[in-house]
Amino acid sequence: MQKLISIVIPVYNTLAYLEEAINSVLIQSDFIKDIIIINDGSTDKSGELLGKKYGKNQLVEILHTENFGQGHARNIGIEKAKGEFIYCFDSDDILVPGLFENFYSHLEKEKEIELFCFSGDSFLDKNFDKKLVKNQSLFKEDTYKRKTTTLLPSGEEAFNFLIKNRAFFPGPPFYIFKKSICIKNNIQFEEIRYEDEEFTTKLFLNSGKTFITKDVFFRRRVRVGSTMQIRRNFKDIEGYLRNIESLEILISKSNLLEETKSLLLTRIHNFLKLIIIIKVVDKIKLSKFQKKILDKSIKPYLCTNNDLRIFYYRYPIEHQIRNIKSKFLDFIKFISK
pLDDT per residue as tens digits for the range 102-128: 999 999 999 999 999 999 999 888 766
- CA 80 to CA 159: how far, in whole Å? 28
* Strand, coil or helix: 292: helix
Closest to 180 measured CA to CA, from 113, 118, 106, 114: 114
Please, what are the domains in the chain?
A: 5-222 (3.90.550.10), 234-336 (no CATH)
Residues of the chain with pLDDT under 50: 138
Task: Return the pLDDT at 98.
Answer: 97
* pLDDT per residue as tens digits for the range 220-266: 998 765 555 557 889 999 999 999 999 999 999 889 999 999 999 99
3-state secondary structure of 27: coil
Q: Could you read off the pLDDT of 161-175 as tens digits, one per residue?
A: 999 999 999 999 999
Of the candidates 96, 115, 111, which has an alpha carbon nearest to the alpha carbon of residue 175? 115
Q: Are 76 and 86 in contact (CB under 8 A)?
A: no
For residue 253, the model assigns a pLDDT of 85
CA 306/CA 181 separation, integer angstroms: 38
**Cα–Cα distance for residue pair 230/257, rounded to 1 Å:** 37
Q: Please check whether residue 228 is in contact with residue 143, taking contact to mean a CB–CB distance below 8 angstroms.
A: no
Exposed/middle/buried for residue 189 (C-beta within 10 Å: 0-12, 13-18, 19+): buried
Q: Which of 80, 56, 77 is nearest to 68 (CA)?
A: 77
Phi, psi of 144 (to 5 degrees): -120, 30
For residues 138 and 122, the answer to whether their CB atoms sit within 8 Å is yes
How high is the pLDDT of residue 258? 96
User: Residue 141's pLDDT is what?
Assistant: 53
pLDDT of residue 112: 97
